[in-house]
């Protein structure tokens, strides 16, 4: 018997709790002897909603408090949406992709229009993602992009109150919450490339905790690991976060990994993209190589203009 009690650190949002319970259910299927408890934690990103993520610490605003619970041994694993996890995590921790990936694409949600193409000029779109904003402006320069934060229910409520013509959300988040009926259009990657890890559940645990590593092996998905490794290596080499529009998206088909990546200026005017196709187990190398290619083609200049 590997372990009797397992403590899961999770955010308190409905989606986070749902994902943590999903992991709990899967673990109990293989290890019915386990006693699994959820430890809900409020993160900085949950508390500060009047500022953009780039102004309050980026992606780490949703993960830091959960990671501290691991480091202080108040929890055994932490469950995240993979897209919320920074490119670099504490050296004492380890990260795994868990279960098969859901839909990684973005969703267009509106009460009046069925697609981005149907939107009238000067339509107000709600999103706080610079990645989405830059790509939408590039595709439809006439649109007005305004910030929108909060959990999914909060964002939908603001749409229903008429504060936005449409909003952009993660497709899989809506699917998991039983809100598939709110999706008007799943936005093709050619219009809006998703961020690394979207649609994937990530689990962090202490690097030296071999019991936890053995427990998680049963619920890991090898193909999802290949995909997320490629996407995250691209973003890590690009040193991307919430300050710059960067996207990476990998697909695994017929034992081939197709990785696409892009970087653009916040106004969408400077746009660089590329792709790699190779063996799945070379995904990490592909990600680094693709990022290096774009950096050499001018991405480094975009980064310097934003950070300096």
Q: What are the DSSP calls for 61-92, one per residue? A: GGTHHHHHHHHTTS-SEEEEEGGGS-SS--TT
Here the tokens at position 18 are 């749902």
| Active-site residue flag, 76 | no
CA nearest to 187, candidates 123, 242, 132, 247:
132
- CB-based contacts of 13: which residues, under 8 Å, 6+ apart? 46, 151, 152
Q: At what angle do helices 152-160 and 14-30 cross, to 10 degrees?
A: 140
Catalytic residue (choose from 46, 72, 76, 84): 84
257 within 8 A of 280, measured Cβ to Cβ: yes
Which one, of 111, 106, 116, 195, lies nearest residue 159 by Cα?
111
Picking from 10, 3, 21, the residue whose alpha carbon sits closest to that of residue 204 is: 10
β-partners of residue 106 are 170
**What 8-state DSSP symbol labels residue 52?**
-
For 88, phi then psi, to 5°, come to: -120, 130
Number of H helices, E strands in the chain: 10, 13
Instruction: State the first-to-last Cα distance of the chain, in angstroms, to the nearest integer.
Output: 54
Helix ranges (DSSP H) in 48-182: 64-71, 130-139, 152-160, 171-176
Q: The tokens of 235 are what?
A: 């973003």
Pull the structure tokens for residue 71: 């480091």
Give catalytic residues, as residue numbers. 84
């Amino acid at each position: 018997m590997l372990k009797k009690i397992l403590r899961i650190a999770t955010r308190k949002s409905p989606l986070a709790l749902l994902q943590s319970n999903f992991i709990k259910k899967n673990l109990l299927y293989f290890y019915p002897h386990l006693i699994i408890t959820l430890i809900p934690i409020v993160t900085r990103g949950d508390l500060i909603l009047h500022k953009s993520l780039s102004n309050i610490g980026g992606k780490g605003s949703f993960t830091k408090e959960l990671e501290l619970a691991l480091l202080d041994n108040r929890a055994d694993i932490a469950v995240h949406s993979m897209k919320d996890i920074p490119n670099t995590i504490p050296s004492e921790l380890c990260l795994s992709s868990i279960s098969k990936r859901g839909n990684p694409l973005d969703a267009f949600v509106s009460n009046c229009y069925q697609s981005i193409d149907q939107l009238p000029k000067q339509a107000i779109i709600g999103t706080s993602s610079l990645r989405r904003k830059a790509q939408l402006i590039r595709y439809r320069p006439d649109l007005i992009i305004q910030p929108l934060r909060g959990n999914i229910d909060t964002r939908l409520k603001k749409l229903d109150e008429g504060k936005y013509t449409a909003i952009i959300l993660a497709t899989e988040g809506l699917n998991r919450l039983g809100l598939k009926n709110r999706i008007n259009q799943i936005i093709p990657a050619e219009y809006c490339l998703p961020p690394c890890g979207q649609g994937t559940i990530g689990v962090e645990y202490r690097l030296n905790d071999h019991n936890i590593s053995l427990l998680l092996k049963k619920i890991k998905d090898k193909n999802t690991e290949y995909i997320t490794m490629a996407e995250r290596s691209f973003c890590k080499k690009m040193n991307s976060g919430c300050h710059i529009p960067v996207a990476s998206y990998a697909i695994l088909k017929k034992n081939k990994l197709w990785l696409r990546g892009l970087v653009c200026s916040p106004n969408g005017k400077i746009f660089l993209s590329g792709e790699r196709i190779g063996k799945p187990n070379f995904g990490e190398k592909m990600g680094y190589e693709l990022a290096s290619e774009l950096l050499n083609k001018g991405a480094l200049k975009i980064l310097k203009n934003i950070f300096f």
